[in-house]
Structure 1
């Protein structure tokens, strides 16, 4: 029996190593491409490199076993998996010569025993509205760092937290809702955020490039907690390059599938 167990363990160790090795060469190649993107001399080269990365990453993510592969060697690729292990998003960006940002993303979604792959396409013609529903080819663009699964009327949905470098003057943080249609296609902007009497599809915060904004989901209290932003002086209202945290906090609290704004949130509840 002991000999059988040793053989069994060795067999599955070899299988695992073989599964890992089939991604290693592609991972190293992709990492080299991201390094090239980081030092690319102009917008045209950056665009071409990002399209090559997109094509190669699609090829890799269509392989069996890719959902569980960590891709930890690729330093400049955002990788985030939902706690229910049903959704995984890869995102990256580059900065244009004028200081604006361009974003790219691929999403893996479990569908029974299969895994479906979707591309999120940043659409610069789409108005940045907090009340519209958008398809995957109307994506506003962001680097996502946290995914929160939740349900509304028994439908599985996700709250995405992301960052957008925006431009030379301001950065943005984004709270986005994501779901999937009856056909299984991704849809952004389910109106499930209660915000000061309005029902929003997403929340976009804009603030000075000189500061940082905290935006994080805390599982213990089932809330997304974030810095309250204010202008440095009242004369700068709606001039977001002068906005920053004012040392108070707000939150979105999940109740019955709706994210409700809680102003003046007491962060002592997090301890």
Structure 2
């Protein structure tokens, strides 16, 4: 009778379920060992010598990661030592996405990834992501995990609308020697399967109407830097307005920020375009701040910088001493 009462309490109490659904000590030890191997391989993917060396490390990384994730309740293990592997969670933690990039000696990139679902029984449910971006001629399309527009995800913004969860993914693609890209697209689940893209980027309130887009992509000059992310204070997606520095807008590798900003506001289940966010003019005699060029040797695959980041890095730091200075 006592056992039955304890079992009833365990099944009915969410807190106790949460405590129970974690790897046991033996599983944690296996996961730590796997993480050490994955950490070494991930460094070889990022900094290894030659295409063959980096590809071999990547080929070894994938089955090692899958074996680690097969451990029961592995979803609860953070793998936080994998500094060159992006691991992003939505607010509801129903899944997480692993993504990473493999750089070729010719300056082109290929991306890899997987979606791990947070299952109730702790068993592995995994969707591998196959990068098909080199073969997608029409980027304004809806795809699945087998035909994925590869990139490195750096944020997930979740929205709920009419009993459906919508996950906006923000990604970065180092692309090629001349340009790079930032991407925003919607992830939904249909019959338990991931769907990338959809008619969620609307231009219905623009002065010049455009068709609704399934995916939003900004391609720009390699040495430049731009923002594309969700701004919590403004409750909207904010991104740089781009112009061609050579007056050739069709050549994406010439596009740079003009220090103006556009955005998308969540309205009626869509991200609706806002043509201009800030309306303050730059004072006469004061030009727009010029971002520092990107130092490719110091690139951070986990933290693609925005113009604001570069300007902050370029600002001279005040000397510090033992005495505190009074703020005026």
- After TM superposition, the score normalised by the length of structure 2 is 0.72
- Where in structure 2 are the equivalents of 1:98-117 lying within 5 Å? 98-114=106-122, 116-117=125-126
Q: What residue number does 1:120 align with?
A: 129
Confirm or deny: 8 A CA contact 1:147 1:159 kept in the other structure: yes
1:113, distance to aligned residue in structure 2 (A): 4.8
- Distance (whole Å) between structure 2 residues aligned to residue 239 and residue 175 of structure 1: 21
Q: 2:264 aligns with which of 252, 266, 269?
A: 252
Q: What residue number does 1:158 align with?
A: 167
- Distance (whole Å) between structure 2 residues aligned to residue 198 and residue 154 of structure 1: 26
**Is 2:148 aligned against 1:139?**
yes
Confirm or deny: 8 A CA contact 1:99 1:167 kept in the other structure: yes
Structure 1 stretches of 4+ with a deviation exceeding 4 A read: 15-19, 111-115
- Distance (whole Å) between structure 2 residues aligned to residue 44 and residue 233 of structure 1: 38
- Distance (whole Å) between structure 2 residues aligned to residue 124 and residue 262 of structure 1: 28
Partner SS for 2:118: strand
Confirm or deny: 8 A CA contact 1:103 1:141 kept in the other structure: yes
Q: What residue number does 2:193 align with?
A: 185
Q: What residue number does 1:4 align with?
A: none
Confirm or deny: 8 A CA contact 1:107 1:119 kept in the other structure: yes
Query: Does 74-83 or 31-40 show the bigger shift?
Result: 31-40
Confirm or deny: 8 A CA contact 1:126 1:140 kept in the other structure: no
Q: What residue number does 1:50 align with?
A: 58
Task: Count how many residue pairs are aligned between Structure 1 and Structure 2.
Answer: 254
Partner SS for 1:174: strand
1:152, distance to aligned residue in structure 2 (A): 4.0
Q: What residue number does 2:12 align with?
A: none
1:267, distance to aligned residue in structure 2 (A): 8.8
Larger Rg: 2
- The alignment's C-alpha RMSD in Å is 2.3
**Is 2:228 aligned against 1:215?**
yes
1:17, distance to aligned residue in structure 2 (A): 5.6
Query: Does 134-143 or 31-40 show the bigger shift?
Result: 31-40
Partner SS for 1:134: coil
User: Where is the strand percentage greater, Structure 1 or Structure 2?
Assistant: 1
| Cα 1:169–1:232 shift into 2, 3 Å | same
Query: Does 206-215 or 104-113 show the bigger shift?
Result: 104-113
Q: 1:67 aligns with which of 75, 88, 91?
A: 75
- Distance (whole Å) between structure 2 residues aligned to residue 267 and residue 226 of structure 1: 15
- Distance (whole Å) between structure 2 residues aligned to residue 111 and residue 191 of structure 1: 29
Query: Does 40-49 or 186-195 show the bigger shift?
Result: 40-49
Q: What residue number does 1:202 align with?
A: 215
- Where in structure 2 are the equivalents of 1:28-39 lying within 5 Å? 28-39=36-47
- Could you list the per-position Cα deviations for residues 27-60 of structure 1 after superposition, in whole angstroms to 9, with x for gaps in the alignment? 0000111122234333233333212211111121
- Could you list the per-position Cα deviations for residues 173-208 of structure 1 after superposition, in whole angstroms to 9, with x for gaps in the alignment? 0001111121x1111111111034311111110001
Q: What residue number does 1:172 align with?
A: 181
| Cα 1:138–1:267 shift into 2, 3 Å | farther
1:87, distance to aligned residue in structure 2 (A): 2.3
- Stretches of structure 2 that go unaligned for 5 or more consecutive residues are 1-19, 204-208, 281-328
